[in-house]
Amino acid sequence: MGSDGFAYQRQRMVDALREEGITDRRVLEAMNEVPRHFFVPSHLRHQAYGQDVSIDIGEGQTISQPRVVAAMTQAAAVKPSSRVLEVGTGSGYQAAILATLCQFVFTVERIASLAREAKRRLDALGFENVSVKVMDGTLGWRAMAPYDAILVTAGAPEIPEPLLEQLADGGRLVVPVGDRGRQVLTVVERHGERFRRMELQGACFVPLIGRHGWREEGR
Ligand code: SAM
């Protein structure tokens, strides 16, 4: 994926992530590899590598800031052998980062046009280890469970129960939990039938809408 005219900006983004405390070498390498500008509308490409920019991708949705993608990916602690579920495909960028690091990524999106466009991008970049599906991700994707990691990239009012059930033993769920405007990035680690919950940092995601999330117009 290398020389595409944005290699310098991408390297600077990764340097800034390192300075901000992202220490996982594989995560930094993946973020240096995946062409983030490919996942944003063409007229906003010049903003693609800004640390604090969450960019509008249409349908009222956004691609998360690089620092949030890096923090969530690091928290998920994925391995090359991991099978991962992402809830909230959006642009497909987070799925591309995960697909660079893991064996297989299942990603679900409730808005069909976003899922279609994300799949087109992932195919164009040659990712063969990603499946994209249109559905309510608060239900998980039961047929493909269990998952070594689950990342939810929209803000949940509480941790969706089906996602806990679909986590493999030793697996990690990373999910922003809070109110519609502000959440805390939360990590849940499964140990048999016990779940250890940790809180990482504040976050500000679009709402997770679905059966185990928010209602479309508030609840
Ligand atoms: N991970 C994305 C990326 O890399 O571009 C950014 C995701 S964006 C912040 C949140 C996404 O979650 C939106 O595309 C939204 O439509 C989706 N979403 C919200 N509720 C959902 C649900 N119940 N199931 C699946 N997707 C959902």
Q: Which of the pair, 54 or 184, is modelled with greater confidence?
A: 184
Identified catalytic residue from 64, 81, 82, 131: 64
Least confident of 25-39, 43-57, 89-103, 164-178: 43-57
> Considering just the CA atoms, what is the radius of gyration of the chain in Å?
16
CATH code of 7-203, in short, is 3.40.50.150
Q: What is the pLDDT of residues 91-113, one digit of tens each?
A: 999 999 999 999 999 999 999 99
pLDDT over threshold 80, residue 26: yes
Q: What is the pLDDT of residues 185-206, one digit of tens each?
A: 999 999 999 999 999 999 999 9
Distance 137 CA to ligand 1 centre (A): 9
Summary mean pLDDT of the chain = 95
Q: Which atom of ligand 1 lies closest to the CA of 209? A: 20
Ligand 1 pocket: which of 87, 105, 136 to mutate (most atoms <8 Å of CB)?
87
Distance 90 CA to ligand 1 centre (A): 5
Q: Which helix (H) or strand (E) holds 122?
A: helix 112-124
pLDDT of 218: 47
pLDDT of 219: 44
pLDDT of 86: 98
Nearest CA to ligand 1 atom 18: 88
Confidence band for 1, pLDDT divided at 50, 70 and 90:
low
Q: Known catalytic residue: 3?
A: no
**Preceding amide of 41 cis, omega within 30:** no
Nearest CA to ligand 1 atom 25: 109
CB within 6 Å of ligand 1 — which residues? Answer: 61-64, 87-88, 90-91, 93-94, 108-111, 114, 136-138, 153-154, 205-206, 208-210, 213
Sign of dihedral through CA atoms 4, 95, 97, 8? positive
Cβ atoms of residues 84 and 159 within 8 Å = no
Q: Identity (one letter) of the amino acid at 97? A: I
Nearest CA to ligand 1 atom 7: 90
Least confident of 44-48, 135-139, 146-150, 207-211: 44-48
Distance 68 CA to ligand 1 centre (A): 14
Range 121-129 contact pairs with CB under 8 angstroms and sequence separation of 24 or more: 121/38, 121/39, 121/91, 121/92, 121/96, 122/92, 122/95, 122/96, 124/38, 125/1, 125/34, 125/35, 125/38, 125/96, 127/95, 127/96, 127/99, 129/99, 129/102, 129/103, 129/104, 129/105
pLDDT over threshold 60, residue 4: yes
Cβ atoms of residues 39 and 96 within 8 Å = yes
Nearest CA to ligand 1 atom 11: 88
Mean pLDDT across 42-62: 88
Q: What is the pLDDT of residues 136-163, one digit of tens each?
A: 999 999 999 999 999 999 999 999 999 9
